[in-house]
């Protein structure tokens, strides 16, 4: 693995992300929202994730900025990054497919919203957010730059920690004891072995 190949692999991940997401975004626009819990804080957190996972690394890959933060590329880390990126894409694709019309980019409950508890959701409550963590780790492994590499981790941390409690509160208000029961048997992003 070379730095150029690693940058290409990173860019491939971004393009594949767009290809998976766009049809869901189109469908979501047509599905009616029953209630919304979206806030300015959530929008800012989304913007932070978008900056860390796209704006900052795109700038680095396209222009080399900020070159002062470059460090030596490790081929083994590049291969590891590619492997983690493939895991991210599979998880992202599968969680989108399993959540189906219940997916929203922000915190929303749709008309005829059903609590999904099968597939990946049988093990963890947030497989899509887990995929974002993997994406951020892959970016860190693939881009040998002290700003662009960890930018995704910072963005995903902001989104995850500012959102996950609010999302679960919204789900609890909507689905009541069914959600409590579901949460008892699942982890947030790491499956509960017990
Ligand atoms: N946190 C989930 C989903 C992210 S999309 C994951 O990481 O996979 C965010 C939207 O998904 C929320 O607005 C909520 O309405 C919906 N959602 C989250 N968990 C859900 C579930 N188990 N069943 C149905 N909808 C869910």
Q: Provide the residue range defining the domain that includes 93.
A: 3-185
In a domain, 80, yes or no: yes
So what's the pLDDT on residue 38? 87
CA distance 82 to 133: 14
Indicate which CATH number applies to the domain containing 29.
1.20.120.1630
In a domain, 193, yes or no: no
Relative orientation angle of helices 75-99 and 127-142, to the nearest 10 degrees: 160
Domain count of the chain? 1
So what's the pLDDT on residue 33? 93
In a domain, 192, yes or no: no
In a domain, 108, yes or no: yes
Residue with CA closest to ligand 1 atom 9? 104
- Record the tokens describing residue 10, joined without a space: 């990173």
The distance of Cα 146 from the centroid of its chain, to the nearest Å, equals: 21
So what's the pLDDT on residue 7? 98
Mean pLDDT by 10 residues, the chain (194 residues): 97 98 95 91 97 98 98 98 98 98 95 96 98 98 98 98 97 97 97 83
Residue with CA closest to ligand 1 atom 13? 107
Q: Closest by alpha carbon to 103, among 81, 87, 86, 120?
A: 120
Q: Is any ligand 1 atom within 6 A of the Cβ of residue 131?
A: no
- Rounded to a whole number of angstroms, the CA Rg of the chain reads 18
CA distance 149 to 104: 28
In a domain, 194, yes or no: no
In a domain, 191, yes or no: no
Q: Is any ligand 1 atom within 6 A of the Cβ of residue 128?
A: yes
So what's the pLDDT on residue 6? 98
In a domain, 132, yes or no: yes
Q: Is any ligand 1 atom within 6 A of the Cβ of residue 183?
A: no
Provide the β-strand partners of residue 108.
36
In a domain, 190, yes or no: no
What pTM did the predictor assign? 0.97
């Amino acid at each position: 693995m070379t730095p150029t190949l690693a940058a290409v692999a990173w860019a491939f991940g971004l393009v594949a992300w767009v290809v998976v997401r766009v049809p869901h975004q189109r469908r979501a626009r047509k599905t009616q929202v029953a209630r919304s819990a979206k806030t300015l804080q959530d929008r800012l957190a989304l913007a932070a994730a978008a900056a860390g996972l796209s704006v900052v690394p795109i700038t680095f890959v396209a222009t080399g900025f900020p070159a002062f933060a470059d460090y030596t590329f490790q081929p083994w880390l590049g291969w590891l990054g590619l492997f983690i990126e493939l895991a991210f894409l599979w998880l992202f694709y599968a969680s989108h497919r399993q959540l189906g019309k219940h997916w929203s980019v922000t915190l929303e409950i749709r008309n005829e919203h059903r609590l999904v508890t099968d597939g990946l959701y049988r093990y963890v409550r947030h497989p899509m957010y887990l995929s974002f963590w993997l994406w951020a780790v892959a970016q860190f492994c693939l881009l040998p730059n002290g700003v662009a590499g960890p930018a995704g981790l910072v963005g995903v941390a902001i989104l995850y920690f500012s959102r996950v409690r609010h999302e679960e509160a919204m789900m609890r208000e909507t689905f009541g004891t069914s959600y409590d029961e579901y949460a008892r048997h699942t982890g947030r992003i790491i499956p509960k072995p017990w």
